[in-house]
Amino acid sequence: MLDCLTAHGVSIPSSCHAGICQTCLMQAISGNIPATAQPGLKNTLVAQNYFLACSFHPQEDVQIRLPMTGLGKLSATVAEIDFLNTQIVRLKLALNTKFNYKAGQFINLFKDNATSRAYSLASVPGIDDQLQFHIRKLPDGLVSHWVHHDLKVGDNVDISDASGDCFYVPDMPDQKLLLIATGTGLAPLYGIVRDALFQGHSGTIKLYHGSNSPDLVYLSEELKSLALQFDHFNYTPCISGKTVPQGFAAGRAQEVAFKENQDLSGWRVFLCGHPKMVSTGKKLAFLAGASTGNIYADPFVLVPRSASKTISA
Amino acid sequence: MSSLYEKIGGEGAVNAAVDIFYRKVLKDDRIKHFFDGVDMAKQAAKQKAFLTVAFGGPNKYSGEDMRKGHAHLVKNGLNDSHFDAVMEHLGATLKELNVPADLIGQAAAVAESTRNDVLGK
């Protein structure tokens, strides 16, 4: 595939030409991709028909694209907006057409044609009829401000197709799962936890959610009752600020999580939220024994007001 | 006669070695700062590429690629002592995986042959 593209003047990024460096990663929209074209790819990439152009010898017609291009746009209707706490709203969108996504992926929500932001899906296909998002109001947030103040039930909004590699794949149902979120990083993990339970995951599932102060905690009661319902699901809300009420762990979520779980050999780890938490968390999880292929992450990068095109989650 | 890559165990051996090797590198105070701020997953793929080279496996990296890929690190002080540290971890990793000493020696010689390009000499 890579040689064919190059021979026809289509230049895509590539490096080792030996199926190792994963620089020539592409995605099939239709057609079959043999496992030999997916050497060493993470299971979430395989699940989305990604392949390496240098290792792919097509036997039939396929439609392909570079990752993250050609995202379609579709229209949705606001079904519900409610406050989860003083700063975070839960937005529920209804769609007339079938929407393919995995819990934990993200979409772009369009305020208008020029302004969009990425938000993680907190809903789960098969459990929730509507798409669900947790949106925190940011001081300079063009889109979050619009969602909090202007958007009303019944409004039509545009969203993109879902994308992202941070989701649950049911290939090892007895594996232990560690999930760490800060702020609205809880949204994708709230989806992933419920998706894993829904798909019959039997291994221990431990969720740590970090907030600066008790008033920023959300969905706590619901997660507590989920933990009562499922013996193998464990939920620990953490407070990094000074006031720590009963029932909360004191400290940053990742500090508490890595202290309580020091040997992560064989574990699957999910990290979502503050970019710094995510990058140090990845390293700490790896050093604690988790293999790189078992670490899934979604850093929430904020968009400066001056930027027009960058994506944030 | 089978190649060094086949004797060591091919892609399976590389997959077994990469996490062990990279974990040693990231825990080493002498060199871990070179990996601050790099993406773990992308870096792991590069570590895998390095081990594939060392094991005599298929690769298309040229000396020029090695120079370009490490130039920013050389600027930040990458020198022989850091290369030595990486060589140490390569040997220890292979030993941990029970690779026979003569094959470890051959792999080390292949890795050693990239020294001047990596360090921009």
CATH 3.10.20.30 intervals, chain A:
2-65
Confidence at residue A69, expressed as pLDDT on a 0 to 100 scale = 58
How is residue A291 annotated by DSSP? -
Q: Count Cβ–Cβ pairs < 8 Å, chain A vs chain B.
A: 52
* Homologous superfamily in CATH for domain A73-160: Translation factors (2.40.30.10)
Shortest CA gap B60–chain A (Å): 5
A280 to chain B, any CB pair closer than 8 A? The answer is: no
Interface confidence (ipTM) of the complex: 0.79
Shortest CA gap A76–chain B (Å): 34
* Residue indicated by tokens 């102060």: A213
d(CA A24, CA A166): 20
Mean pLDDT to the nearest integer, A27-51: 89
B8-118 architecture in CATH? Orthogonal Bundle (1.10)
> Along chain B (121 residues), what's the average pLDDT of each consecutive run of 10 residues?
83 88 94 86 83 83 84 93 96 94 93 93 89
At residue B35, φ and ψ (nearest 5 deg) are: -105, 5
pLDDT single digits (tens) A139-192: 888 899 999 999 999 999 999 888 888 999 999 999 999 999 999 999 999 999
Choose among B19, B27, B59: nearest Cβ to A292: B19
Find the range with the poorest average confidence among A38-42, A58-62, A199-203.
A38-42
A14 to chain B, any CB pair closer than 8 A? The answer is: no
CATH 2.40.30.10 intervals, chain A:
73-160
Token pair for residue A146?
């619009």
The chain B residue lying nearest A290, using CA atoms, is: B19
Mean pLDDT to the nearest integer, A193-203: 97
Residue A310 has pLDDT above 50, yes or no: no
pLDDT single digits (tens) A70-92: 567 889 999 999 999 999 999 99
Confidence at residue A123, expressed as pLDDT on a 0 to 100 scale = 97
A2-65 architecture in CATH? Roll (3.10)
d(CA A26, CA A29): 10
A17 to chain B, any CB pair closer than 8 A? The answer is: yes
Find the range with the poorest average confidence among A123-132, A222-231, B46-55.
B46-55
Q: Which chain B residues contact residue A281 at CB under 8 A?
A: none
Find the range with the poorest average confidence among A18-32, A113-127, A248-262, B82-96.
A18-32
DSSP conformation letters of A155-175: -EEEEEPPB-S-S--TT-TTS
A177-299 architecture in CATH? 3-Layer(aba) Sandwich (3.40)
CA A63 centroid distance within chain: 26
Interface of A with B in 117-156 (CB under 8 A): none
Mean pLDDT to the nearest integer, A86-110: 93
d(CA B23, CA B32): 10
Position B53, amino acid: V
Q: Which chain B residues contact residue A279 at CB under 8 A?
A: 37, 39-40
**Do the Cβ atoms of A292 and B46 come within 8 Å?**
no
Confidence at residue A300, expressed as pLDDT on a 0 to 100 scale = 82
**Do the Cβ atoms of B26 and A283 come within 8 Å?**
yes
Residue A32 has pLDDT above 80, yes or no: yes
Q: Which chain B residues contact residue A22 at CB under 8 A?
A: 45
Q: Which chain A residues contact residue B44 at CB under 8 A?
A: 292
Query: CB neighbours (10 Å) of residue A53?
Result: 24
**Do the Cβ atoms of B40 and A39 come within 8 Å?**
no
Confidence of residue A305 (pLDDT cuts 50, 70, 90): low
- Cα dihedral: B26, A295, A205, A214 (round 10): 80
